A = this chain, B = another copy of it.
Amino acid sequence: MNAAGDLDAVFRHIDDHADEIVSDLQELCRQPSVSTVHTGIEEMAVLVRRRLERAGLEAEAHPTEGHPIVTGRLAGAGAKTLLFYNHYDVQPPEPIGEWASPPFEARIVDGHVIARGATDNKGNIMSRLAAFEAFLAVRGELPCSIKYIIEGEEEIGSTSLLPFIEANKDLLAADGCIWEDTFREDVPVLSLGNKGLCYLELTCRTANVDFHSSQAQIYENAAWRLTWALASMKGADEKVLVEGFYDDVAPLTEKEEELVRRMKPYDTEARKKKFELRRIALDLSDEELPRRHLTNPSFNIAGLDAGYTGEGVKTIVSGRARAKLDCRLVVDQDPEKIRGCVRRHLDQHGFEDIEVELLFQSLPAKSDPESDVVKACQAASRRACGEEAVINPFGTGSTPTWMIIRHLGIPLVGTGVGFITARTHSANENLKIDHLIEGAKYMAAICEAFGGS
Measured CB to CB, the residues of A under 8 A from B are 195, 197, 199, 205-209, 211-221, 223-228, 230-231, 234-236, 266, 275-281, 284, 289, 292-293, 296-310, 312-319, 321-324, 326, 328, 350, 353, 359-360, 396-398
Contact = CB atoms under 8 A, between A and B. Distances in A.
Given A208-B275, A312-B359, A314-B303, A397 B350 contact: no
A318 B398 CA distance: 18
A279 B220 contact: yes
Contacts of A266: 218
Contact of A199 (B276, B310, B313, B319): B313
B217 A292 contact: yes
Contacts of A217: 281, 292-293, 296-298, 328
Contact of A298 (B216, B298, B306, B307): B216
Contacts of A313: 199, 324, 359-360
A113 B173 CA distance: 80
Contact of A293 (B207, B218, B224, B353): B218
Nearest to A288: B218
A101 B115 CA distance: 57
A359 B308 CA distance: 14
5 contacts: A216-B299, A219-B280, A224-B230, A228-B235, A303-B316
Of A209, A223, A296, A326, chain B has the most CB atoms within 10 Å of the CB of A326
A227 B309 contact: no
A231 B236 CA distance: 12
A306 B360 CA distance: 20
Contact of A227 (B195, B208, B304, B317): B304
Nearest to A272: B207
A214 B396 contact: yes
Contacts of A296: 217
Given A275-B208, A276-B207, A313-B199, A220 B301 contact: no
A394 to B, nearest CB: 11
Contact of A314 (B289, B302, B307, B308): B302
Contacts of A359: 312-313
Given A281-B220, A289-B218, A302 B316 contact: yes
Given A302-B308, A306-B304, A215 B293 contact: yes
B195 A214 contact: yes
Contact of A280 (B208, B218, B221, B308): B218
B324 A307 contact: yes
Contacts of A230: 224, 227, 231
Contacts of A208: 275-276
Given A206-B278, A214-B328, A221 B301 contact: yes
Contacts of A360: 313
A220 B278 contact: yes
The 8 A-B residue pairs with the shortest CB-CB distance, nearest first, are: A231-B231, A216-B298, A216-B300, A305-B309, A223-B301, A303-B307, A303-B308, A304-B306
B219 A301 contact: no
Of A212, A304, A359, chain B has the most CB atoms within 10 Å of the CB of A304
A8 to B, nearest CB: 38
A321 B216 CA distance: 22
Given A220-B279, A228-B235, A284-B218, A318 B292 contact: no
Given A231-B228, A303-B308, A277 B207 contact: yes
Given A227-B230, A277-B220, A293-B217, A326 B318 contact: no
A225 B298 CA distance: 15
A216 B292 contact: no
A209 B305 contact: no
A417 to B, nearest CB: 20
A224 B234 contact: yes
Contact of A219 (B195, B281, B350): B281
A206 to B, nearest CB: 5
Contacts of A279: 220
Given A207-B277, A231-B227, A236-B350, A317 B303 contact: no
A72 B267 CA distance: 72
B293 A318 contact: no
Contact of A197 (B209, B276, B315): B315
